[in-house]
Amino acid sequence: MSTLICNLPSIDVWVRREYLRDLQDGHGEFVKGVWVTAKSIPGRAFYFETYLPDYGALYDKLPISAFVSDPVTPIQIWIFTIFSFGIAWIMAWSLFVSSL
């Protein structure tokens, strides 16, 4: 199975606690996390390696559905992709051109 791993900049996210507890308990609770890498596997959603500073733990292969942007008004984070195994982080740079 082809996989590709991409390093990510430090992006603060909130992790749904039920994903850390095998969906058994912790519903409605959130844990602060920081994205480290993203993994792309064909035919599956992106998986993320996430550092949890409260626990000093590095969780691997959490699906995108485990993350929200804010625990007060949880908006689920979505990333769309075509079914491929290629992934890359592209940082957008602004280019300002002035005419003299």
pLDDT digits (tens, 9 = 90+) for 34-80: 999 888 777 777 789 999 999 999 999 898 888 888 887 765 555 55
Comparing C-alpha atoms, which of 62, 68, 32, 33 is closest to residue 45? 62
Domain range for 4 is 1-100
Domain tally, the chain: 1
pLDDT exceeds cutoff 80 at 1 = no
pLDDT exceeds cutoff 60 at 82 = no
Confidence at residue 64, expressed as pLDDT on a 0 to 100 scale: 83
Query: The tokens of 3 are what?
Result: 């996989």
To 5 degrees, how large is the angle CA 37–CA 40–CA 42?
170
Q: Does the predicted TM-score (pTM) go above 0.85?
A: no
Contact 65, 79 (CB under 8 A): no
Mean pLDDT value across the chain: 75
